[in-house]
Chain A
């Protein structure tokens, strides 16, 4: 298991999901917000008018960038250095933490204000800072709440999605030392006032990075609260951590991303603040950091490069649309996934960032493979297929479930031979005599326990289709109509077109 999940090691996705399913507050809060976000996205797509074309454009930009990542990374780094930025590379989480802490130590930093960053969550950077006596302060409202609660974000863009405003009022009241009304204005007002002091005190401002622009060596931040702007203008030193895949070639490409990301994330046409930062403060600038560092983090990402089944994973722009669309996420929330990233993208990313398949957990099984994630993704990452590839890799590496593995051998034995299939059906019909009543099985034991705890199972009918076919076929043949000539022509045309390699007449497919 990877990531500060806040859950005990060894527990499975299934166990954690069962916990979440019994938490009515969590389920209500997650359902309410994901539905709102999902609805907002659908509306924004409709209003946009050319969504599918822009989505394809977004996909192509990401595919192109990742296919030439070495080139664009070099270009970005050269340009950023020319702008006066200190650029560092970190192969592992440990290296990224070490570089960050060294800067903090050199600066004698006492406190760090942070804007929202999933990569720092991935690195557990807050714990590391605390361990050397530096106070990390999250300044995104949701992140601030999560930090107070001692938890990790349960959503990529809405970290406190699993909490309702009464729970949040309790947390903030304890922080304030007075009772705060569970009113959004009051609560946000308190945090704003409190954070104002923190911004002024901080020695370092730490950010993530939504997009890094190769052509100018700039980094771009999307946010709604203005806190990232404070983080990048008030403290003397800025440290930006970015996954190595955050690159896009140009500002023109940013237009596409700035169209896709906010709409996919929240249904907003534009993010409230979009900051493009090109180097530390120049003499003519009114504000900005004196010293600026960018740490480019690999931490398992390069494992996907050159892997035809997973390279597209690096196309992700971290919008969270797949979480909002996912019916599994809606019921279990983010912590059940057990890693930094949750939802469908987390279920794929968490194992993919780890070389050691033995530590993969059962996370890739937490999906019904419905494809809602793929449909929601603004850059068309086929997450539903990747989940199957992960399952296959686990099986092939010998880490499959023993019982299931035996079951599948039995399955293929039966299903590769229709006589065996027929024999099994016969056995089933004999076996069910003990348990079937009125065409139903309600027994809650063995493999039926989970299924029958929520459902009734239909029993096998007296005759299968293949048992009935002989008589049915003869009967149908007797009454068969003559096919209309236009129908016949159409069918012949389809077969002809197919031979020519043309359309197959499937309609949408």
Chain B
């Protein structure tokens, strides 16, 4: 059984601690994770902006990187969902199209893998803090992650969960949207942070570092002391504490 890590460019470059937590947590269950070094980015920035030729060039490196494994795991619902676009991207290329479908079927976001593949919801963690959760749009609406993070959090000892008001609203990241439509994006993230503040949570967790970078960026800008973590980090930290 070969399990490969799709690190995602953001976690690779800016948040290595997230993928590290994920890999170390999985090792506790005997999951040996490989890291194909030829991987780069899922191609979403180019795809969403309409530059599909450029997206294809990048997507090809991902398809090749994970061609020989049985499971692909990623710390992001959005990048995992991008793989679901690959079959359409390569609809004119029979070989790559077939490989793209295979890749889609074996790709899992982190919580999906824990719950649905390993069958684990209690990782044995302790995390005595007030926590709120932002469900990222692509992960929840498009990839269908709904109960998985809640199932995991509910088993963490000491964790006090506070629901985020208007949790389903987009944080305003949207990739290049945050640059191109920076004022709209800024209004959206400010509203999101207002809601995070309302919860009086010490920690905000999520499953996508892009959204969390956006929200954390606004929290820091406003000098709000809320700690922002990927759920994998929270669970791994909680396991070490237990």
A372: which of B11, B168, B217 is its contact (CB, 8 Å)?
A: B168
In this assembly, does A418 line the interface, its C-beta being within 8 Å of a C-beta of chain B?
Answer: yes
Interface majority SS (helix, strand, loop, mixed), chain B: helix
Interface residue A355 (Cβ < 8 Å from any Cβ of B): no
For chain A, the count of residues having a C-beta within 8 Å of the partner chain is: 89
| Interface segment, one of B56-64, B122-130, B156-164, B199-207 | B56-64
Contacts of B43 in A (CB 8 A): 412, 415
**B40 x A472 contact (CB < 8 A):** no
Question: Given A411-B46, A454-B182, do A483 and B187 touch, yes or no (CB 8 Å)?
Answer: no
Q: Report yes or no: B71 in contact with A483, Cβ–Cβ below 8 A.
A: no
Q: Is B1 an interface residue (CB 8 A)?
A: yes
Cβ contact within 8 Å between B137 and A508: no
Q: Are B178 and A18 in contact (CB under 8 A)?
A: no
Note all chain B residues with C-beta closer than 8 A to A469: 35, 37
Cβ of B112 to closest chain A Cβ, rounded Å: 6
B27 touches A480 (CB 8 A): yes
Are A417 and B181 in contact, with the CB atoms below 8 A?
Answer: no
Tell me the count of chain B residues lying within 8 A, CB to CB, of chain A: 91
Question: Smallest CB–CB gap between A478 and chain B, Å?
Answer: 10
**A392 neighbours in B (Cβ, 8 Å):** 50-52
**Partner-binding segment picked from A119-127, A140-148, A206-214, A460-468:** A460-468
A73-81, A230-238, A252-260, A489-497 - interface stretch? A489-497
* Contact status A458-B138, CB under 8 Å: no
Q: Which residue of B lies closest to A492 (CB)?
A: B1
Task: Of the listed stretches A61-69, A192-200, A324-332, name the one at the interface; the rest are far from the partner chain.
Answer: A324-332
- Which residues of B lie under 8 Å from residue A18 when comparing CB positions? 183
Q: Contacts of A367 on B, CB cut-off 8 Å?
A: 174, 177
Q: Which residues of A contact B216 (CB under 8 A)?
A: 458
Query: Which residues of chain A are within 8 angstroms of B137 by Cβ–Cβ distance?
Result: 368-372
Residue B106 is within 8 A (CB to CB) of chain A in the complex: yes
Q: Residues of A at under 8 Å CB distance from B? A: 13-14, 17-18, 21, 327-328, 331-332, 362, 365-372, 374-375, 384, 388, 390-396, 400, 404-405, 408-409, 411-412, 414-418, 421, 425, 428, 440, 447, 449-451, 453-458, 460-461, 463-469, 472-473, 476-477, 479-484, 486-488, 490-492, 494-495, 498, 504-509
- B interface residue numbers (CB < 8 A to A): 1, 7, 9, 11-14, 16, 19-20, 23-24, 27-33, 35, 37-41, 43, 45-55, 57-58, 60-61, 70-71, 105-106, 108, 112, 115-119, 137-138, 141-146, 148, 168-170, 172-191, 213-214, 216-218, 220-221
Q: Which 10 A-B pairs have the closest CB atoms?
A: A450-B182, A368-B174, A455-B217, A483-B30, A508-B144, A391-B50, A454-B186, A370-B170, A412-B54, A465-B16
